[in-house]
Amino acid sequence: MPFPRLDVLNRWRARPAGTPPAAAQAPLLAAEEIAGLAQEAALLAEAQAAREVHDHHAGDWSSPWLGHGLDFEESRLYVAGDDIRDMDWRTTARTGRAYLKSYREERQPTVHLVIDREASMRFGTRRRLKVTQAVRAAALLGFAAADHNAAIGGTLWDRGDLTLPPMHGRNGALALIEAAARPCPPLPDAAVTESVSYRDRLLALDAALPRGTELVLLSDFAWLREEHEPLLARLAERTDLLAIQLSDPAERSLPDVGLARFHDMTLGNDIWIDTGHEAERSAYAAAFRSRQAAIAGHFARAGVRHSSLGSEVDDLLTVLMVPHA
């Protein structure tokens, strides 16, 4: 269950029911900030030294997947079912055992960014919402990938999921970021309590993405459960998968604001907590650490690279340049 958010109900009582504040109707990122992130992405692109790009043409990147391509990679023992057109006859004749030629498959790199815009991501107590930080990170990653001649696509997990097919260069990154940055007001309880199947969402990614895609999931992963591990493991085997977990400072450490009303954005329940009691705050922090350990365990068992990102962080370059375990 995701952690509840502090519900400042006093500011809402004077408004008609279902009417979000004016700020909630604004895009998550202004055009000026998107332009600034595009400029910063050049530094991130330079730091990604492990990627070998020789010039700006499709097929420049070599894929980690072996198959039919132009560049000979190695000879390997024949396995029943292999295409005999790729037989390495010289090695077979020399060793007396059937060998097959493998080739390094050329491809245009494809980056697919998944941005979670569900209820628990529409929360923030410092600087910005978690979903806004997710869009900022996606912008840097997308524009940096575009500078490496990648095709950029993405999926928005929302009330109605939206998938954008890959587009070459910065046009693809810009199209995704503009869609992800559209207004993200709090969801009414009726919408929050609707069942959302993240299992189906992971299955859809597995079915749609070609092998070798660079896949980045940006979410708080409040939904993550043991049942999702096999699907994540399959995605990690087929793609270069990175999970970036968003969190807010108030989720990590409950602020002392006295008696406060909290609202569970998933179940729609309200509870009162006296945040002035140190024992309450300590229990809350312990619960968060326990949940974090559980999430890290899910990713470790699925073989997924995982990193964390606070919604209050301004300098994303420093975080995203660090290699992910």
Supply the CATH number for residue 284's domain.
Answer: 3.40.50.410
Does a structural domain hold residue 57? no
Model confidence, pTM: 0.76
Say which residue, 294 or 19, is predicted with more confidence: 294
Return the minimum-mean-pLDDT range out of 42-46, 70-74, 98-102, 232-236: 70-74
Is residue 81 domain-shared with residue 207, that is, in the same domain?
Answer: no
Specify whether 223 is located in the same domain as 266. Answer: yes
* Comparison of pLDDT for 104 and 96, the residue scoring more: 96
pLDDT in tens, 55-65: 444 444 444 43
| Same domain (yes/no): 190, 102 | no
Same structural domain for residues 163 and 83? no
Q: Is 325 within a domain?
A: no
**Which percentage of the chain shows pLDDT scores above 70?**
78
Q: Considering all CA atoms of the chain, what is the largest pairwise distance in Å, rounded to the nearest integer?
A: 86
User: Is 256 inside any structural domain?
Assistant: yes
* pLDDT score at 85: 79
Please give the residue that has the higher pLDDT: either 65 or 299.
299
Q: Which pLDDT band holds residue 9 (cuts at 50, 70, 90)? A: very low
Residues 165 and 306 in one domain: yes
Contacts of 34 (CB under 8 A, 6+ apart): 139, 174, 177, 178, 181
- Provide the pLDDT for residue 45: 82
- Are 97 and 133 within one domain? no
Residue 271 confidence class, pLDDT cut points 50, 70, 90: confident
Q: In sequence order, what are the residues at sequence separation of 6 or more whose Cβ sits closer than 8 angstroms to the Cβ of residue 59?
A: 106, 107, 108
Same domain, 118 and 101: no
Q: Do residue 265 and residue 228 come from a single domain?
A: yes
- Mean pLDDT, rounded, of the chain: 82
Q: Residue 82 sits in which domain range? A: 62-107
For the chain, give the percent of residues with pLDDT over 90: 51
Nearest alpha carbon to residue 218 among 239, 186, 249, 241: 241
More confident residue, 277 or 192: 277
Residue 255, domain member (yes or no) = yes
Same domain as 154, residue 220 = yes
Spatial distance between the Cα atoms of 321 and 38, rounded to a whole number of angstroms: 15
**Total domains, the chain:** 2
Mean pLDDT of 73-90: 80
Give domain status of residue 83, yes or no: yes
Q: Of the candidates 107, 123, 138, which is a domain's last residue?
A: 107
pLDDT for residue 324: 64
Q: Where does the pLDDT of residue 153 fall: very low under 50, low under 70, confident under 90, or very high at 90 and above?
A: very high
Same domain, 96 and 132: no
45 and 84 housed in the same domain: no
Residue 14 has pLDDT above 90, yes or no: no
User: Is there a single domain that holds both residue 25 and residue 44?
Assistant: yes
Give the pLDDT score at 302.
Answer: 97
Most confident of 95-109, 151-165, 261-275: 151-165
- Sorted by sequence, the CB contacts under 8 Å of residue 135 that are 6+ apart come out as 28, 29, 115, 177, 180, 181
Q: Is the confidence at residue 275, as pLDDT, over 60?
A: yes
